[in-house]
Amino acid sequence: MSMHDDNSGASARLGGLSYLNPAAPEPWASFIEQIERVRPYLGPLERWIETLKHPKRTLIVDVPIERDDGTIAHFEGYRVQHNLSRGPGKGGIRFHPAVTLNEVMALAGWMTVKNAAIGLPFGGAKGGIRVDPSSLSKGELQRMTRRYTSEIGLIIGPDRDIPAPDVGTNAKTMAVMMDTFSMNRGGTATGVVTGKPIALGGSLGRQEATGRGVYLCAREAGKHQHIPMEGARVVVQGFGNVGGIAARLFRAAGARVIAIADHTATLANEAGIDIPAAQAWVAEHGGLAGFNGAAPIDIEDFWQLECEYLVPAALEGQITPERANRVRTRVVVEGANGPTTPAADDVLRDRGVLVVPDVLANAGGVTVSYFEWVQDFSSFFWTEDEINARLERIMVSAYDAIWQVAQEKQVPLRTAAFIIACHRVLEARAERGLYP
Ligand SMILES: NC(=O)C1=CN([C@@H]2O[C@H](COP(=O)(O)OP(=O)(O)OC[C@H]3O[C@@H](n4cnc5c(N)ncnc54)[C@H](O)[C@@H]3O)[C@@H](O)[C@H]2O)C=CC1
Ligand SMILES: O=C(O)CCC(=O)C(=O)O
C-alpha cells in the first residue's frame, strides 16, 4: 500500500529544519542563475527573458486555525504562479517547517521549465505552508488544509491552476483540497487538483510516476554512457515517494542499491539493500532509523560512495561544489527539485559526471498528473498499463530531444532542457503579445 496514505507517515519523513543547507544559495538565486545560462541561446526571444525572472502572481496567505486546545495558531501559506503563458498553472503543495516564499518561487519556476521541457500544456506554479505537519492533530491538519485551500481558492481552479502533492502532502491532502474547493464552488470539481485518491478521480500510476520517471531517465542515460542496469550500483538520498519508488524500480531492474538515506538515518550495504523490506520498515516506523538490512554510515561518506547512479531525492541544495568534488558516480539523476547548485553543476561537468536534471528526471509525476487532469475532464479512465506506456513514451522522447540539443550546442542536459523550455514559453509569450 502507498507510503503516502497516511499524513502522519508523510510528516514523520520531513526531516525538520535539517534540510536547509547553509552551504547552498537560496533556491530562487539558483533558478535565476540557470535562466541566465540560457540567455545566449535565445536569439530574438532574449528580449522576453525578464518574464522568466518575475513570477506572474504571488499570493501570500494567512492561515489561522483553532487548535484542539482552544488556542488560535497562524501559519503562512503561499501559492506562486510563475508563468501562465502556455496554460494553467501546475505544481505541487509543500507542507514543511522551512518553506519560504523564496523557495516556493523557485519551485514554481522549475515547474514552468519542466512542463515546457516535457511539452505539457501547463504553466508553472507551486504552493506551500510553513508548518511541521507532524506537530498537528489530524483535525488541525484538516482545518489548516481547508482554510489554506479557501484562501488560495481566489486563484486556483481546473482551468486556472491545478495543485498536486509534494513534500509533506499526499493523496489525502488532495482529497481535502478538492472537497473544500468544490464546497465553495457549489459543485464537484475533480480537476482542481491531481494526485487524488482513485475513488475521487485520481489516476492509476500517479503514486509511482515520479519514481518511475527517475528510473526511466537513468536507464536512458545508461544507454548513452554504456552502463548496464544489471549490477549497476545506485545511491539514493531521500526515501519517500520519489526516492523509495525509484530505488525499488532500480532494484527490480537488476541494479544494486548500495546506500539509502532519509532524515533519520544514512545506511549502506555493498551487497545491495532489500528495498521492499526498507519501505515496509519506513511505513511502520516513519523513517529508516533502526532498519537492520544495511549499516549506518556518515552522511559525508555517503556522498563519496563509488556508484554508477547517484539519485538525490530529498530536497534542494544538497550537492554543493564541495560535495560535487567528492562524488564518485558516473550519473546524477535528480529526483528532487533543485538538489544541485549551479556552481556544483560546473564542478560535475568539469569532472565528466552526467547530470540528468530535475526538470527532466522528476517530470514523471506531473506527466501522470496531466493524464489525471485529462481523464477527469473526459470522465474516461485509462488502465495502469496504458498510463505507464504513455508515460514511458513521453519521458523517452523528452530525454532524446534534450540529449540531441545538448549534443548540438555542446551544453549540459540542464542547459539543453532550459533552452527547449524557455523557447517554448517565450515563444508563447511573444505570440500572445503581438499584433498580427
Ligand atoms: N511527489 C512527487 O510527485 C514529486 C516530488 N518531487 C520532488 O522530490 C523530492 C522528494 O519529494 P517526495 O518524495 O514527494 O517527498 P516525501 O515527503 O515523500 O519524502 C522526502 C524524503 O526526503 C527525506 N529527507 C528530508 N530531509 C532530509 C535530509 N536532510 N537528508 C536526507 N533525507 C532527507 C525524508 O526523510 C523523506 O525520505 C522533493 O524535492 C520534491 O519536490 C519532484 C517531482 C514530483
Ligand atoms: O504533479 C504535479 O502537478 C506537480 C508535481 C510537482 O510538484 C513537481 O513536479 O515538482
Nearest protein Cα to ligand 1, atom 27? 263
Cβ atoms 105, 28 nearer than 8 A: yes
Beta strands in 228-335 (DSSP E): 233-237, 256-261, 266-268, 295-296, 309-312, 331-333
Name the residue with the closest Cα to ligand 1, atom 3. 365
Average pLDDT over residues 383-389: 98
The whole-chain average pLDDT of the chain stands at 94
| Stated pTM of the model | 0.95
Residues in Cβ contact with 329 at an 8 Å cutoff, skipping those fewer than 6 apart? 235, 306, 307, 308, 309, 310, 353
pLDDT recorded at residue 14? 44
Per-residue pLDDT band for 107 (boundaries 50, 70, 90) equals very high
What letter represents residue 181's amino acid? F
- Ligand 1 center to residue 337 CA distance, Å? 9
Per-residue model confidence (pLDDT) at position 6: 36
**Proximal ligand: closest to the CA of 213:** 1
pLDDT tens digits along 134-163: 999 999 999 999 999 999 999 999 999 999
Predicted confidence (pLDDT) per residue in 260-311, tens digit = 999 999 999 999 999 999 999 999 999 999 999 999 999 999 999 999 999 9
> What residue's CA is closest to ligand 2, atom 1?
366
Give the active site residues: 126
- CA of 16 relative to ligand 2 center, distance in Å: 21
ipTM above 0.90, yes or no: yes
Strands 354-356 and 331-333, sheet pairing: parallel
Task: With cut-offs at 50, 70 and 90, classify the pLDDT of residue 18.
Answer: very low
Name the amino acid, one letter, at 42.
Answer: L
Give the model's confidence band at 22: pLDDT under 50 very low, under 70 low, under 90 confident, else very high: confident
